[in-house]
Amino acid sequence: MNYHVIGGKKLSGEVTTNISKNAAVALLCASLLNRGTTTLKRMPRIEEVKRILEVLKSIGVTVDWKEGGDIVITPPATFDLSHIDREAAVRTRSIAMFVAPLAHVLTSFDLPAPAGCDLGKRTLGPHVDALARMGITLQGDEEKHTYHVEVADKHLAEIVMYEASNTGTENTLMAAAKIPGVTTIKFASADYMVQDLCFFLERCGVKIDGIGTSTLVVHGVDDINADIVGYPSEDPIESMFFFSAAATTGSELTVRRCPIDMLELELLTLESMGLSYDRGAKYLAENGQTHLADIVIKPSTLIAPPEKISERPFPGINADNLPFFVPIATQAVGTTLIHDWMYDGRAHWFTEINKLGAKTTLLDPHRVEVEGPTPLHGADIKAPPALRPATILLIGMLAAEGESTLRDVYPINRGYENLHQRLKALGASIEAVE
């Protein structure tokens, strides 16, 4: 699929934040812990979820994706990995989160090596180290392009994550969930998808102390066998996409159901860039835990921020939200320094927006300077093989005068449901074409 865009148009109206991609896939993987039926509410119809479902079906799981978005998952009596869907598995790094759940029912197995976004070197080291401390050995086989898992006597542990990895923390949580007793995870990620997984595990009967902090104390159980309903919450990264689209195009836009606790530093940084917005009162998401708010972004005269913009572990600027400051900075007076220290290979994708007339300079593998304001113009560009860098090009095209084509937008469809249709409803001129 390609997107054809006629840019330079203001957006208007309101849009509702969808359910989080990262929370959705974490809960899909966690459903493997339950020997009963798991129902996950309002799941997003995105490519990443579809790939995980394809893998689940291929190992014997029964999946019923209902019209309203709910997914009902029923596990088999025994899992059979002999016909695992390798093509689907290698297209998502989330396949790595099958390791811990399957380690509770299998003593030795192989999984296809995960792929996903091209963001430079991304190690599974945090997974390997933490799981090994609980008796689960994960080894890579480069020749077979698989991960081999051996399970000895699973045991309790006090674990220090040497990196606050989101998926590493999630794998560790799922391993600890079915080891009876107390496992402590220190330097854990406290990010939104980890919190959503914790809320789900608590619904499964696993008590977890410290949710939302960097130390999680997991009270594991012998078994999980019940009808469980999970509620993945709204996606702060999607909210930020619409903040960025509105700010870059100089539009007034209402973004509803924003996970506000996950966006406060992003909004503060935008405020330092001159962005004006109204924030509504907090209310709870369907999970009864996540705080939401409606945000109205207003047309503003933008300036470069007084400090560099850099991601941090929660509650700092989310690594997935950092790229959205690039198109905003193209319309801000002055020079903005964006420091993407987390990924070795992502910052160079930010300079693709130069094809639309922006002035970005790659200082090193992690730092980009953006000079603004610059008028943007249409261009024909192939989408980078990475989700967030692809979306910032789309935002640039919405702001650019003239016609643009963004080709091969599968990376965007991995994380956003019906994005072009939702943008059309806001006044954008965008079509999906073959």
Residues of the chain below pLDDT 70: 114-122, 142
**How many other CB atoms are found less than 10 A from the CB of residue 227?**
10
Residue 144's Cβ-count burial label (10 Å; 0-12, 13-18, 19+) is exposed
φ, ψ for residue 416 (rounded to 5)? -130, 135
Closest listed residue to residue 399, CA positions, set 1, 2, 4, 11: 11
181 phi, psi to nearest 5 deg: 115, -165
* pLDDT for the residue numbered 93: 82
> Kind of pairing, strands 2-7 and 228-230?
unpaired
**How much is the CA Rg of the chain, to the nearest whole Å?**
21
| Beta-sheet strand order (sheet of 359-364) | 309-310, 334-339, 367-372, 359-364
Question: Quick check: 266 and 293 in contact, CB under 8 A?
Answer: no
CB count in 10 Å sphere of residue 151? 20
Burial profile 68-93: b = 16 or more Cβ within 10 angstroms, e = fewer: eeebbbebeeebebeebbbebbbbbb
Check residue 13 and give left, alpha or beta (phi > 0: left; psi -120 to 50: alpha): left
Question: What is the pTM assigned to this prediction?
Answer: 0.95
Sign, CA torsion 266/270/272/276: negative
- pLDDT, residue 147, reads 87
* Residue among 21, 1, 8 at smallest CA distance from 236: 21
For 361, other C-beta atoms within 10 Å of its C-beta total 12
* End-to-end CA separation in angstroms for the chain: 5
In order of their start, the domains of the chain are 2-18+234-433 (3.65.10.10), 21-230 (3.65.10.10)
**Separation of alpha carbons 144 and 90, rounded Å:** 12
Select from 301, 309, 376 the least CA-distant residue to 333: 301
Where does 75-212 show beta strands of DSSP type E?
Answer: 108-112, 136-141, 146-151, 158-160, 181-186, 207-209
DSSP string, 201-226: HHHTT-EEE-TTSSEEEEEE-S---S
pLDDT of residue 115: 57
Count of residues in the chain? 434
Tokens 């093989």 belong to 385
